[in-house]
């Protein structure tokens, strides 16, 4: 039986990103896999790559040697047959938690060696889900398409063939009236959420099933 690791790199459990990750995980499960969902922001503290180069030494080649909240996650990904990653867009990039995992996941396989630039011989399918305030229609213009293409390129090479799913114009809070967020139209946000989110959950489910 195939095993999928699903990672929610949003601190808000039950909101857009985590629900899409859960739905993708459910899709993978219904397609016959076992699935573990990990909420990154509920782990013991962790950091990104500390540039120790332990993963470049013969004894620990290809393995991140940093010991913290991500150590076990990296071990679980190593044994998995597929990976679901979800992150909100924070300031035009993916979340800091996502970046920490991404640095360590990718860099451990990057060898700086001409003959064998990637030492990961267990490539697995990856689904990267990202959500944003920004509407999908402006992703090209604001640079998000290029930013995500770059993640895809690196994940394709060092983790495995990657599909990207985006969900823009998300509902950020239940009650917009308590903030002075004049750039948003709360009525439009709610209406969009009600109309589009169910379709996005379905898309996530199908993409999750497609990993198997
Ligand atoms: C710190 C922070 C920075 C954000 N920066 C952006 C941004 O640059 N562009 C954008 O479109 N949305 C931005 N957002 C909005 C989130 O990406 C969006 O609400 C997302 O759907 C939140 O995911 P969640 O509901 O899973 O927490 C930001 C939100 C926060 C909290």
Domains of the chain in start order, with CATH, are: 3-209 (3.40.50.360)
Q: What is the pLDDT of residues 169-201, one digit of tens each?
A: 999 999 999 999 999 999 999 999 999 999 999
54 C-alpha vs ligand 1 centroid, how far in Å?
A: 34
93 C-alpha vs ligand 1 centroid, how far in Å?
A: 9
- With DSSP H G I counted as helix, E B as strand and the rest as coil, what are the percentages for the chain, rounded to 5? 45, 15, 40
Percentage of the chain surpassing pLDDT 70? 100
Burial profile 48-69: b = 16 or more Cβ within 10 angstroms, e = fewer: bbeeeeebbeeeeebbbebebb
95 C-alpha vs ligand 1 centroid, how far in Å?
A: 9
Nearest CA, atom 14, ligand 1:
90
Q: What is the pLDDT of residues 85-138, one digit of tens each?
A: 999 999 999 999 999 999 999 999 999 999 999 999 999 999 999 999 999 999
pLDDT in the model for residue 39: 98
The whole-angstrom separation of Cα 52 and Cα 142 is: 35
pLDDT in the model for residue 135: 97
pLDDT in the model for residue 148: 98
Indicate the pLDDT class of residue 80, thresholds 50, 70 and 90: very high
Which tokens hold the place of 121? 């011989």
Rg of the chain, C-alpha, whole Å: 18
pLDDT in the model for residue 11: 98
Evaluate the CA torsion angle 118, 211, 17, 137 in order and state its sign: positive
Mean pLDDT of the chain: 98
Nearest CA, atom 19, ligand 1:
172
76 C-alpha vs ligand 1 centroid, how far in Å?
A: 28
Evaluate the CA torsion angle 22, 23, 28, 34 in order and state its sign: positive
Indicate the pLDDT class of residue 167, thresholds 50, 70 and 90: very high
**Between helices 16-30 and 186-209, what is the axis angle to 10°?**
30
Residue 67 sits at φ, ψ, to 5 deg, of -110, 105
**Which atom number of ligand 1 is nearest to the Cα of residue 134?**
11
The whole-angstrom separation of Cα 212 and Cα 208 is: 8
How far is the CA of 11 from the CAs of 39, 119, 141, 142, 187, in angstroms?
8, 32, 27, 24, 25
- Mean pLDDT within 200-212: 98
User: Cα angle vertex 103, ends 97, 105, to 5°?
Assistant: 100
Asked if 131 and 17 touch (Cβ cutoff 8 Å), the reply is yes
Residue ranges lining ligand 1, Cβ < 6 Å: 10, 12, 15-18, 88-92, 131-134, 170, 172
Nearest CA, atom 23, ligand 1:
88
Indicate the pLDDT class of residue 25, thresholds 50, 70 and 90: very high
- Mean pLDDT within 55-73: 98
- Mean pLDDT within 16-24: 98
pLDDT in the model for residue 40: 98
**Its pTM surpasses 0.95:** yes
């Amino acid at each position: 039986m195939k095993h999928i690791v699903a990672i929610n790199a949003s601190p808000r459990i039950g909101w857009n990103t985590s629900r899409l990750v859960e739905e993708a995980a459910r899709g993978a499960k219904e397609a016959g896999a076992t699935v573990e969902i990990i909420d990154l922001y509920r782990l013991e503290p962790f950091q990104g790559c500390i540039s120790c180069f332990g993963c470049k030494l013969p004894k620990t080649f290809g393995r991140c040697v940093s010991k913290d909240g991500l150590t076990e996650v990296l071990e679980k990904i190593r044994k998995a047959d597929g990976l679901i990653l979800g992150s909100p867009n924070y300031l035009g990039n993916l979340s800091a938690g996502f970046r920490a995992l991404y640095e360590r996941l990718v860099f451990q396989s990057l060898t700086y060696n001409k003959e064998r630039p990637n030492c990961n011989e267990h490539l697995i399918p990856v689904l990267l889900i990202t959500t944003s305030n920004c509407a999908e229609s402006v992703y090209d213009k604001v640079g998000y398409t290029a930013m995500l293409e770059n993640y895809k390129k690196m994940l394709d090479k060092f983790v495995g063939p990657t599909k990207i799913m985006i969900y823009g114009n998300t509902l950020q809070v239940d009650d917009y009236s308590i903030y002075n967020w004049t750039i948003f139209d709360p009525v439009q946000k709610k209406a969009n959420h009600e109309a589009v989110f169910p379709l996005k959950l379905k898309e996530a489910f199908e993409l999750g099933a497609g990993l198997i």
